Amino acid sequence: MLVLVINSGSSSLKYQVRDVDAGTVITEGLIERIGLGNGGGGDGEAIGPRDHAEALDHVDRALHEVLGDRAIDAVGHRVVHGGERFSEPVLANNEIIRAIERLNPLAPLHNPANVLGLRAIASKWPDMPQVAVFDTAFHRTIPEHAWRYAVPEWFYTHHGIRRYGFHGTSHEYVSRRAAALLGLAPEAFDGVVLHLGNGASATAVAGGKSVDTSMGFTPLEGLVMGTRSGDVDPSILVFLARQGHSADEIDSLLNRESGLRALAGSNDMRTVVEAAEAGDRKAEVALDVASYRLAKYVGAYHVSVGGAKAIVFTAGIGENSVAFRARVVARLGALGVVLDGDRNAERSKEPRVISAPGSAIPVLVVPTDEERAIAEATAAVVRAAVPS
């Protein structure tokens, strides 16, 4: 089955075509500057497509060149917010698309763009089966004691303010692969999964299900990220508001001007590690703050899952940053976790163990592949709905 995976942003559209049965990527691409024109800069850059429908025409032409007469069988969309309704991938009809649209207030940057992508496909290829795969869905199993904030009831009842969690597609995929690497059935996997990319989150997985995760109502909560602060005392926001900063400024300060960027001057982990190794004190402090926060979450989630059988690193930093992994694991001595320096330093695209044989909990690196997970989920939903 050929599945077109779409990750639709407000001004970009990322796509990948996968042959699900062969497990291969046929082609991929990125359309940018949607709805932005050429900025009037006269710099010779191509004018971006007017809207998502026009972007899709570009994709269609690009696919035709690669696929010839082979047709796409289904489209799978990454949808950021599934609210409380969606706990698994669904076949998207008009009612489902409207339901995703009603969740726009919970993810104002992302869900409207996802809806544009779904509608663009529906109008271009009306008979194409489309599946929505939600970033929040894996976390629908989180129990109330972990998702509820200790705030007045109407925060939740009127505004839906609770913890939702994100990166669910990655956490689920990586949990399954980690279980397989350890020779466990997916439902026998208890562990802590650390998705460390530009955005970063830790998830406590018990019996193969998410029981807690570090991102909350929005992706701002939890770990130190590239440009996000993660956990702060909420009174800081009130303090800044009283100092005259607007809601939009505070939002931008915490989401785009914080994290590694604020501490070390760069949101790129490679740059921060290089600076620290060259003796830059700010970079050193940034790595300390980020690794300490992360180690604290690992300790907490070891308790949440009733004793982790694995600690798993994934995504850009988790898969590639030998130095950052070493700094995190060095803080886990109280759990009896011991890294194997040589295994940690090995470069590989394969899932692997990087802890020493005597480590009380194995430490794993398991590359994530959200597109593959979305393509496989899409194929499964379509096959169940449209028996061939």
Active site residues: 135
Nearest to ligand ADP of 199, 208 (CB atom): 199
Secondary structure (DSSP) of 202-268? EEEEETTEEEEES--SSTTSSS--SS---S--THHHHHHHHTT--HHHHHHHHHHS-HHHHHHS-S-
Nearest to ligand ADP of 87, 227 (CB atom): 227
Separation in Å, CA 268 to CA 41, 167, 199, 274, 365: 28, 19, 11, 10, 20
- Binding to ligand ADP by residue 316, rule CB under 6 A? yes
| Phi–psi pair at 40, nearest 5 degrees | 65, 15
Q: Cβ of residue 212: shortest distance to ligand ADP, in angstroms?
A: 21
Q: With contacts defined by CB under 6 A, name the span among 45-53, 55-63, 178-186, 314-322 that binds ligand ADP.
A: 314-322
- Binding to ligand ADP by residue 198, rule CB under 6 A? yes
* Residue choice 79, 96, 103, 317 for contact with ligand ADP (CB under 6 A): 317
Nearest to ligand ADP of 129, 199 (CB atom): 199
Q: Does 198 carry a binding-site annotation?
A: yes
* Residue choice 199, 216, 259, 362 for contact with ligand ADP (CB under 6 A): 199
Altogether, the residues listed in the chain come to a count of: 388
Q: Cβ of residue 355: shortest distance to ligand ADP, in angstroms?
A: 20
Q: Does 268 carry a binding-site annotation?
A: yes
Instruction: Round to whole Å and give the CA distance between 80 and 218.
Output: 11
* Residue choice 19, 57, 257, 268 for contact with ligand ADP (CB under 6 A): 268
What is the three-class DSSP state of 307?
coil
Nearest to ligand ADP of 14, 296 (CB atom): 14
- Binding to ligand ADP by residue 382, rule CB under 6 A? no
Q: What six digits make up the tokens of 362?
A: 């194995």
Nearest to ligand ADP of 237, 326 (CB atom): 326
Separation in Å, CA 88 to CA 26, 49, 92, 307, 321: 26, 32, 12, 27, 32
- Binding to ligand ADP by residue 5, rule CB under 6 A? no
Q: With contacts defined by CB under 6 A, name the span among 12-20, 264-272, 275-283, 288-296 that binds ligand ADP.
A: 264-272
Is there a contact between 267 and 260 (Cβ–Cβ < 8 Å)?
A: yes
Nearest to ligand ADP of 61, 347 (CB atom): 347
CA dihedral (346, 292, 188, 339) in degrees, to 10, reads 30
Reported in sequence order, the residue ranges of the chain that DSSP labels E, i.e. its strands, are 2-8, 13-19, 24-31, 74-79, 90-91, 130-134, 191-196, 200-206, 209-213, 310-314, 352-353, 363-365
Q: With contacts defined by CB under 6 A, name the span among 97-105, 195-203, 302-310, 330-338 that binds ligand ADP.
A: 195-203
Instruction: Round to whole Å and give the CA distance between 98 and 131.
Output: 14
Instruction: Round to whole Å and give the CA distance between 171 and 193.
Output: 6
* Residue choice 130, 169, 229, 321 for contact with ligand ADP (CB under 6 A): 321
- Binding to ligand ADP by residue 19, rule CB under 6 A? no
Q: Which residues bind ligand ADP (CB under 6 A)?
A: 197-199, 226, 268-270, 315-317, 320-321
- What residues form the annotated binding site? 7, 14, 78, 195-199, 268-270, 316-320, 370
- What residues form the annotated binding site for substrate? 78
